[in-house]
Structure formats: structure tokens, C-alpha cells
Amino acid sequence: MHKKTLLELSQTLRKREISSVELTRYFLSRIERYDSQLNSFITITPELALQQAQLADDSYKAGTADLLTGIPLAHKDIFCTLGVKTSCGSKMLDNFIAPYNATVVEKCQAAGMVMLGKTNMDEFAMGSSNETSYYGAVKNPWDTAAVPGGSSGGSAAAVAAGIAPIATGTDTGGSIRQPAALCGLTGLKPTYGTVSRYGMIAFASSLDQGGPIAKTAEDAALLLNVMTGFDQRDSTSLDRPTEDYTAHLQRDIKGLKIGLPKEYFGEGLDHEVAKVLEAAIKELEQAGASLHEIHLPNTHLAVPVYYIIAPAECSSNLSRYDGVRFGYRCENPKDLIDMYKRSRGEAFGAEVKRRIMIGTYALSAGYYDAYYLKAQQLRRLISNDFQQAFQQVDVILGPTSPSVAFNLGEKANDPVTMYLSDIYTIATNLAGIPALSIPAGFVNQRPVGLQLLGNYFSEARLLNIAHQYQQRTDWHQQKPQGFA
């Protein structure tokens, strides 16, 4: 069952070859068997899952089931879930039981999907390797000595190992696409505002976006159909007609214009990863696409701009965690100031503290104009680069990550090197455009991700291209050994 796509699972349920309760028990048993090797889950919810599965079975009997009814999934532990711990991978929220559901969780429940549990993540989504979690590092199923990527590494590891059929993630600077690439999966960051951020604990509000982590482009499209839609509770949610992202998957890609940015294929890209991408590009060319060299001249600014804007927004968003209303509180504080200082000092990890300090500095009097305001101006230049490129080409292609998964601990003590692992993913968050990563091959038995970038609201086109590529290749069907 764990090798089936969502559509195959849906057909199996619809034909009554298996019940949702049986399917849910199957995946819960796989979690129990394999997750000790991966540490991909923070919280497992078997009782809730079986209750939801029984409701799904009742829907099938009543003839009211939707396409994804009864299919299990895992939620990144950044989405609030009513009555279930929502920790954001932090000691600060280790005791927080969410009093409501995030919109994404609501929508998945309304579609009849079954929540297996909450997946591990970098603390408050700050990290590129899933090593900053209070609950310990997640391991990559392809090689448990390697990182799975971050911050949605738990979701990616769970899907790659087949202990969850699909999972949700969030992407602030590549946190869906990079773990999808390092774990051999399909991961999509939608256009900013397409998926509601209500109940999704904020890291950097102008950059955060939820999306699916899946085995295939078709699976990602099916979950995206459920996740998207206007939400009046989210001031950044876009009020636009809903789409069926599966509608155009079968279209051929003859005549498609693919832009290859000179800046994405130069210094910094691993030579062996570049070879894998060259083969993937030839495959798309044989399918009828044409290739065009383009320039994104402000690409080199993306990392420094991101690491001013994201920490600035994080320092503002995380100011609410003060030991007063909810979350961790230090023991026996002397006074209010002592409680603030010790609660935050004891509950936040090193990476979160680092980014809060950077962000507070950038927003402080005398430095706001020099850093934060200037970063926002440069952000516009980066966005303009993409708009000029999309006047010449339909999509942009490049690497998702400069290398395959690195070893656990390899970059843990070098934050700057760690930050550079997101060099190809950050710019799309700054611009708010959609981007997708798909598996394209292997280097030293570790997966390589190919990234497709599109103009605003071009998710359907990106998924179509990815699906057509996956019809011609079998990289997405490869499974890590040891999780049969």
C-alpha cells in the first residue's frame, strides 16, 4: 500500500478492497516499525486517526466520499491542530495544545483525509537541515547518516520512507523544495497567498507559504486542490477563483520555452549535480521544449536580502513568546523582566536566538533604513528580474540545491555555509512566485532535485511539466532501501 499513489489509494478505497480504518492501521504500523530510525514524527495521533478513518468509511457507505476521503496524511508540526500538541519543533511550545485548527488542517479534514500525526521540523522553521529541532535531528531515508533537508524534513522523510502517503510542509526560503529534493520527492511552493496562513505559526509573514510534499506531481496536484482557496481569516489570502490543478497534467509540452539562468549553472553548483540536470534538460527537450539562456542579474543579492528580511520578521513574530500567555515559562522568576529573559533564553535554540538578534538589530533605530528598508528595495529588483524573464520564457529551470544531502553535523557549526544551501530557492519566496522540485537522478546514491519556477499562479503549468517529465522517467518511483 505504501508504494501506491494517492489516486491508486483512492481507487482501492472506492472499490472497497480496503477500508480507511485498515489503511490507517497499515500506516500507523509502518510508523511504529520505522520511525525510530528516522525521527520524522514529533506526535503520532492513532486514536484521532482511527476516528477520522471510521468517519471516512461511513462516507463511502453513504456515497458521499470525496476523491481523497480516507487517505492518511501527516501535517508539519507548524500547523495548529485542535486538541493536539503543536510545537513548531521548539521547547518554547513543547506544552502547547492548539485550541483550534489551521485552515489547511480544516480543509484536509473537510476532504475526509486522516491525520496520522505531526512531523518533525527545524525549530520555528529556521534551518535547512532539520538539525535545529528541540526533538532531535531527522534522518534521510536514503542514507540515515545524511540530513533530509529543512525545515520540512520530517514531512519529507516520512513520505520518502513510505510511512505516510503524503504530507504538508511550509516554505519560507525553500523549506518544502529543498527537503523534497534531498529525499527524492515532489515538493511545491505555491504563489504567495494561494494557501491560507491562518493557524500556520509564523516565521516570516511575507515569505511563509504552505504546500504539499508528495511522491509525484499528480499527488501534489491532488493535495493542492484541497489546500488552496480564499480565507477571510488570513489578510494575505488571495480572493480568486479556485483551480483544478490536475486538469492539465496530460497536456504535452511541445513548444514550451524553458529559461536556463546563467547564474544558476555557474560557480557553487556541484559538478555531478550539474551532469544530472543536463540529462534532465535533454529529456524535456526531447519532449518538445525549447531551451533559452536567460539572466537573473540580481540573483547574488537573494541570500543577503533574505537574511535581513526573514530575521527581521521573525524577531517581530517571535516577540509573543514571553512566558506570559502560553508556551514555556521559566521556574521561580524574580520579576517580570527576569521571566521574559529566562523564558526566552531557556526555551529558544541557538539558531532561533541568532535570527532574532539579527532581525532586532536590522529593525533598530539608526539601522532600519540602512538594512531592512534597503533589503525591501533590493527585493523589488529580484522580483523584477523574474518578470522580465517571464516575458521571454514560460518557465525557468535550475537546481533545487547546490549539492545532494550532506551528512548530519557537517554544517551545523557554520551558519553561513548552511544558509548558502538555499541559494537557488530563496529568490522565489522574495518574489512570491510558485516553484516546484522534482527528483531528477542520483549522485552517490543520494537524490538530486530539479527546480521549475513559474510566474504568478502558474502552479498548474509547473505540475503539468513535472508530470510529463515523470511519465518519461522513473526517478520518482525509486525507493530507499530498508523501508520496503
> What does DSSP assign to residue 422?
G
**Other C-beta atoms within 10 Å of 473: how many?**
16
Q: How far is 362 from 316, CA to CA, in rounded Å?
A: 11
Quick check: helix, strand or coil at residue 417? helix
Catalytic entry in 175, 237, 315, 458: 175
Query: Would you report the helix, strand and coil content of the chain in percent, each value rounded to 5?
Result: 40, 15, 45
Catalytic entry in 151, 155, 237, 343: 151
How many Cα atoms occupy the beta-carbon half-sphere of 228 within 13 Å? 25
First-to-last C-alpha distance (Å) of the chain: 11
Q: How far is 140 from 328, CA to CA, in rounded Å?
A: 30
Catalytic entry in 10, 19, 40, 76: 76
175 is annotated as an active-site residue = yes
Q: Tell me the residue ranges of DSSP E strands in 122-208.
A: 167-171, 186-189
151 is annotated as an active-site residue = yes
List of residues 6+ apart from 319 with CB closer than 8 A? none
Q: How far is 438 from 184, CA to CA, in rounded Å?
A: 7
**Among candidate residues 137, 177, 171, the one with its CA nearest the CA of residue 412:** 137
Radius of gyration of the chain (CA): 21
Strand order in the sheet with 167-171: 41-44, 114-119, 72-76, 167-171, 209-214, 186-189, 435-443, 446-453, 395-399, 257-261, 290-294
Q: How far is 213 from 189, CA to CA, in rounded Å?
A: 9
Q: Are 44 and 158 in contact (CB under 8 A)?
A: no
H or E, element range at 293 = strand 290-294
How many Cα atoms occupy the beta-carbon half-sphere of 229 within 13 Å? 12
List of residues 6+ apart from 390 with CB closer than 8 A? 396, 454, 455
H or E, element range at 259 = strand 257-261
What are the CA-CA distances from residue 416 to residues 137, 270, 282, 342, 412 (Å)?
Answer: 19, 18, 34, 27, 10
Bridge partners of residue 392, in order along the sequence: none
Catalytic residues: 76, 151, 175
